A and B are shown apart, each in its own frame.
Chain A
Amino acid sequence: MSATDLLSFARSVASGAIRVVDLTQTLTPDFPIIVLPPEFGQCAPFRMEEISRYDGRGPSWYWNNFSMGEHTGTHFDAPIHWVSGRDLPDNAVDSIPPHNFIAPACVLDCSKESATDADFVLTIPFVEAWEARHGRIEAGSWLLLRTDWSKRDGRSYANLQNDGAHTPGPEPEVVKWLVEERDILGFGTETIGTDAGQAQHFNPPFPAHFYMHGKGRYGLQCLTNLDQLPPTGAVIVAAPLKIKQGSGSPLRVLALIESK
Chain B
Amino acid sequence: MSTPLQRPPRKNPLKRTRQPLLPPGARSRTAHGLTAAAAQGRFALQVCTDCQTVIYPPREACPACLSLRLPFRDVDSGGMLVSETAVRVSPEPYFRERVPWRVGLIKLDAGPVAVAHLHGDAREGARVRLALQLDRSGAAVMLALPDKDTPNMADDSILREMTADPKFRRVLITDGRGAVGQAMAKACADAGASTVFVGVADPWKPFAGEDALKAIAPVEIVPLDLTDSDSVLELAAQDAGRVDIVINTAEYVRPGGILDGQTLIRAREAMELRYLGLMRLAQALGPALRARGADGVNSAAAIVNLMSVHALASWPAYGAFSAAEAACLSASQTLRAELRPGGVKVINVFAGPLDTEWYQTVPPPKVAPSALARAVVGALKRGLEDVFVGDVAQDIRARLAVNPKALERELGEEGDS
Interface of A toward B, CB cutoff 8 Å: 29-30, 32, 35, 41-42, 44-45, 47-50, 153-155, 157-158, 160-161
In the assembled complex, the Cα of A154 lies from the Cα of B229 at a distance in Å of: 20
**Inside 8 A of A32's CB, which chain B residues have their CB?**
202, 204
Q: How far is the CB of A193 from chain B (nearest CB, A)?
A: 15
Interface of B is mostly: loop
Question: Is residue B230 within 8 Å, beta carbon to beta carbon, of the partner chain?
Answer: yes
Q: How far is the CB of B129 from chain A (nearest CB, A)?
A: 47
Contact A154 B206 (CB under 8 A): no
Q: Mark B245-272, 1 if CB is under 8 A from A, else 0.
A: 0000000000000000001011001000
Question: Is residue B33 within 8 Å, beta carbon to beta carbon, of the partner chain?
Answer: no
Question: Is residue B227 within 8 Å, beta carbon to beta carbon, of the partner chain?
Answer: yes
In the assembled complex, the Cα of A29 lies from the Cα of B280 at a distance in Å of: 15
Given A30-B231, A41-B263, A41-B265, are A158 and B204 neighbors across the interface (CB < 8 Å)?
A: yes
In the assembled complex, the Cα of A32 lies from the Cα of B230 at a distance in Å of: 16
Contact A29 B206 (CB under 8 A): no
Question: Is residue B223 within 8 Å, beta carbon to beta carbon, of the partner chain?
Answer: yes
29 pairs of residues in contact across A and B, judged by CB atoms under 8 Å: A29-B230, A30-B203, A30-B204, A30-B223, A30-B225, A30-B228, A30-B231, A32-B202, A35-B205, A41-B265, A42-B265, A42-B269, A44-B265, A45-B228, A47-B227, A47-B228, A48-B229, A49-B229, A50-B229, A154-B204, A155-B203, A155-B204, A155-B206, A157-B204, A158-B204, A158-B205, A160-B204, A160-B206, A161-B206
Contact B228 A29 (CB under 8 A): yes
In the assembled complex, the Cα of A93 lies from the Cα of B284 at a distance in Å of: 39
**Inside 8 A of B230's CB, which chain A residues have their CB?**
29, 48
**Inside 8 A of A157's CB, which chain B residues have their CB?**
204
Q: How far is the CB of B117 from chain A (nearest CB, A)?
A: 44
**Inside 8 A of A47's CB, which chain B residues have their CB?**
227-229
**Looking across the interface, which residue of chain A has its beta carbon closest to that of B205?**
A160
**Inside 8 A of B229's CB, which chain A residues have their CB?**
47-50
In the assembled complex, the Cα of A42 lies from the Cα of B204 at a distance in Å of: 16
Contact B231 A29 (CB under 8 A): yes
Contact residues of B between 79 and 97, Cβ < 8 Å to A: none
**Looking across the interface, which residue of chain A has its beta carbon closest to that of B229?**
A49
Contact residues of B between 169 and 218, Cβ < 8 Å to A: 202-206
Q: A47-B227, A47-B228, A157-B204 are in contact. List 5 more A-B contacts (CB 8 A).
A: A30-B223, A47-B229, A155-B205, A155-B206, A158-B205
Size bracket, chain B contacts: 10 to 19
CB-based A-B contact count at 8 angstroms:
43
In the assembled complex, the Cα of A42 lies from the Cα of B254 at a distance in Å of: 13
**Inside 8 A of A35's CB, which chain B residues have their CB?**
205
**Inside 8 A of B269's CB, which chain A residues have their CB?**
42
In the assembled complex, the Cα of A155 lies from the Cα of B263 at a distance in Å of: 30
**Inside 8 A of B225's CB, which chain A residues have their CB?**
29-30
**Looking across the interface, which residue of chain B has its beta carbon closest to that of A50?**
B229
Among A29, A41, A160, the most chain B Cβ lie within 10 Å of the Cβ of: A29
**Looking across the interface, which residue of chain B has its beta carbon closest to that of A31?**
B204
**Inside 8 A of A50's CB, which chain B residues have their CB?**
229
**Inside 8 A of A155's CB, which chain B residues have their CB?**
203-206
In the assembled complex, the Cα of A35 lies from the Cα of B206 at a distance in Å of: 12
Q: How far is the CB of B81 from chain A (nearest CB, A)?
A: 56
In the assembled complex, the Cα of A71 lies from the Cα of B182 at a distance in Å of: 32
Q: How far is the CB of B229 from chain A (nearest CB, A)?
A: 6
In the assembled complex, the Cα of A29 lies from the Cα of B265 at a distance in Å of: 18
Q: How far is the CB of A167 from chain B (nearest CB, A)?
A: 12
In the assembled complex, the Cα of A160 lies from the Cα of B208 at a distance in Å of: 13
Q: How far is the CB of A72 from chain B (nearest CB, A)?
A: 13
In the assembled complex, the Cα of A155 lies from the Cα of B204 at a distance in Å of: 4
**Inside 8 A of A30's CB, which chain B residues have their CB?**
202-204, 223, 225, 228, 231
**Inside 8 A of B203's CB, which chain A residues have their CB?**
30, 154-155
Q: Which 9 A-B pairs have the closest CB atoms?
A: A154-B204, A29-B228, A155-B204, A158-B204, A32-B204, A29-B230, A49-B229, A41-B265, A160-B206
In the assembled complex, the Cα of A44 lies from the Cα of B229 at a distance in Å of: 15
Among B204, B225, B230, B231, the most chain A Cβ lie within 10 Å of the Cβ of: B204
**Looking across the interface, which residue of chain B has its beta carbon closest to that of A162?**
B206
**Looking across the interface, which residue of chain B has its beta carbon closest to that of A28?**
B230
Q: How far is the CB of B23 from chain A (nearest CB, A)?
A: 35
**Inside 8 A of B263's CB, which chain A residues have their CB?**
41
Q: How far is the CB of B321 from chain A (nearest CB, A)?
A: 14
**Inside 8 A of A49's CB, which chain B residues have their CB?**
229
**Looking across the interface, which residue of chain A has its beta carbon closest to that of B223?**
A30
Q: How far is the CB of B279 from chain A (nearest CB, A)?
A: 12
Q: Mark B389-405, 1 if CB is under 8 A from A, else 0.
A: 00000000000000000
In the assembled complex, the Cα of A61 lies from the Cα of B399 at a distance in Å of: 53
Q: How far is the CB of A127 from chain B (nearest CB, A)?
A: 31
**Inside 8 A of A41's CB, which chain B residues have their CB?**
263, 265-266
Q: How far is the CB of A118 from chain B (nearest CB, A)?
A: 15
In the assembled complex, the Cα of A158 lies from the Cα of B231 at a distance in Å of: 20
Q: How far is the CB of A191 from chain B (nearest CB, A)?
A: 13
